[in-house]
Amino acid sequence: MTLTYDWTDTPEATRAEIGGLPPVPESFLAESLASSMCEFGADSRA
C-alpha cells in the first residue's frame, strides 16, 4: 500500500495560517499509517 498526500490545491492563505504543510509532524503520519494498516491486518513494514 502506498499512501500519498497532495497539498497542491491548498490555498496559500491556509498554508500560512497553519504554518506549513503537512500540518502534522511526519511521526504522526507514520503512526497513523501503522494504525490503519493494523486495522486492515497488514504489516506496515511491507
Quote the radius of gyration of the chain (alpha carbons, Å).
Answer: 13
Quote the pLDDT of residue 7.
81
What are 25's three cell numbers?
509532524
The model scores a pTM over 0.85 = no
Spell out the per-residue pLDDT of the chain, length 46, in tens.
666 778 888 888 988 888 877 778 888 888 888 887 776 665 545 5
If you write DSSP's letter for every residue of 1-46 in order, what string do you get? -------TTS-HHHHHHHTSSSSS-HHHHHHHHHHHHHHTT--TT-
